[in-house]
Amino acid sequence: MAVSITDYNLEYRCSTDDAWYTCAVVLDDVNRNLRVKFRDFVQSFYDEVFSVANFSTHSEIEQFLLRFRPVSKPVEDYECSGIIQGMLVCAIYRNKDEALYFDAVVDAVRYKAHKPEECLCSYLLCWQHGPGNGNVTKSTIEDICLITDGAIHPKLIEFANLMKQQLKGASVQSQVFGSAGHSSHVGSSAELSDHDIDMGGVKTTGRHHYIMLENLEKDLCPLLMMDFIHEHTSITAESYVFPSLLAETYARGAIMVDSTTKLKRIYDFINNPNHIITSFSGRPWVLAEDDLRTGTFNANLHSLQPKYENYGTKNELKVVRLGTEEYRECKQQKDLFLEFRGHVNGLVKRLGMEEKKNRDLFSFCKL
């Protein structure tokens, strides 16, 4: 199973140490195996081999595909201004005698004046997985790579289809790798099976950790929310967009995870004062409350989800940065919504007081 140097065009998040490695994939149609070959370890005993028989659920297939992405791009010294706070990058984490690649969020940037050929800036990186998970360390430009988009590898599509055929599921549709190294569906949701369209429905009740959102686009796809959160936090969350009244111009939603630690990271990302999350039409996300909720989430919220056919459209999400004109405009829209919400909350409080007064009066009259 010889491969050429040009075949090493993927990154794989190794199951042994959780680090990213440049790799090639080889599909054995006869034995229904996929072999992952590492560029830096040419001996075959370093290969990871996966059989179709290793996968018993659609969720396992999706999680497997998340471990692949196009090779990250090294950053040239003159490109240092493109590394900004909040960006997800792939970088070298140095631990004892090892120097391995893991994902990190740029926590802060310390720019220094320098010539184009030699960057003198430093970057504080918050590591998202691996031995430094949750830690913040200082790095320089030569240790940082940009995570890139690209079409999903044909061999991965073939292997996924073999797995799904065994499970009697639908074939994998046209996909692209998202910039967080995960696969994102393209095209109408109607083309995918129910297993592919996982909008975060929880099949069993239990204790969950979630936050509530307001001022969402009414036709926002939960899949897009999931991909967006994963892209910026490396956390796989479940998301919901709830039906709204016809008279309302916005929708409410929720983001749910399985631990308070993950939820706090997502909350901090959404509530970061240095940026605002908004739709491409300029509608900013607003946290419905400051509380991080823990409790039992409805076991069958799929039934509440509207039909979404716009996953591949321009109804996308983006982060706008403090100091830009776009941020100023989004901040005005957000403040306007908060003012509106405050007014509504005041009316609700007044209504509650009036209802209580009427109940007390009714009880008094019955005496």
**138 & 278 share domain:** no
* 172 sits in which H/E element: none
Q: Is residue 334 part of a domain?
A: no
* 140 sits in which H/E element: none
State the Cα–Cα distance between residues 50 and 203, nearest whole angstrom. 28
Residues linked to residue 124 through DSSP beta bridges, in sequence order: 108, 138
**164 & 37 share domain:** yes
**26 & 167 share domain:** yes
Q: Is residue 186 part of a domain?
A: no
State the Cα–Cα distance between residues 303 and 293, nearest whole angstrom. 22
State the Cα–Cα distance between residues 188 and 31, nearest whole angstrom. 33
**169 & 205 share domain:** no
Low-confidence ranges of the chain (pLDDT < 70): 1-2, 45, 168-207, 296-315, 364, 366-367
Strands (DSSP E) found in 250-354: 251-257, 275-279, 286-287, 293-296, 317-321
Q: Is residue 366 part of a domain?
A: no
Using CA atoms in the order 6, 7, 8, 13, what is the torsion angle rounded to 10 degrees? 160
**24 & 166 share domain:** yes
- Expressed in percent and rounded to 5, the helix, strand and coil fractions of the chain are 30, 30, 40
330: number of Cβ within 10 Å: 22
Range of the domain at 50: 5-70+149-177
**87 & 108 share domain:** yes
DSSP code, position 253: E
Token pair for 107: 């926590």
**219 & 250 share domain:** yes
| pLDDT for the residue numbered 207 | 63
Closest Cα partner for 296 from 208, 237, 212, 213?
208
Buried b (16+ CB within 10 A) or exposed e, 161-176: ebbbeeeebbebbebe
Answer with the one of 104, 129, 146 that is the final residue of a domain: 146
Q: Is residue 192 part of a domain?
A: no
| pLDDT for the residue numbered 102 | 96
**123 & 91 share domain:** yes
SS (H, E, C) 76-130: CHHHHHHCCCCCEEEEEEEECCEEEEEEEEEEEEECCCCCCCCCCCEEEEEECCC
Pairing of strands 293-296, 207-216: antiparallel
* Distance set, CA 106 to CA 78, 102, 144, 145, 181 (Å): 18, 13, 10, 12, 17
State the Cα–Cα distance between residues 219 and 222, nearest whole angstrom. 9
Q: Can you give the CATH number for the domain in which 87 is found?
A: 2.30.30.140
**134 & 105 share domain:** yes
**272 & 239 share domain:** yes
Q: Is residue 25 part of a domain?
A: yes
Quick: pLDDT tens for 291-346.
888 876 554 454 455 555 444 444 589 998 877 888 899 999 999 999 999 898 88
| pLDDT for the residue numbered 183 | 38
Total number of domains constituting the chain: 3
Contact 254, 216 (CB under 8 A): no
**212 & 316 share domain:** yes
State the Cα–Cα distance between residues 157 and 65, nearest whole angstrom. 9
All residues at 6 or more sequence positions from 164 whose CB lies less than 8 Å from its CB, including other chains:
58, 61, 170, 171, 172
20: number of Cβ within 10 Å: 27
Place of tokens 């740029």: 106
3-state class (DSSP) for residue 280: coil
Question: What is the value of pTM for the model shown?
Answer: 0.52
Token pair for 299: 């076991």
Contact 40, 21 (CB under 8 A): yes
**138 & 266 share domain:** no
How long is the chain? 367
* 28 sits in which H/E element: strand 20-28
Supply angle C-alpha 153, 155, 161, rounded to 5.
110
Q: Is residue 190 part of a domain?
A: no
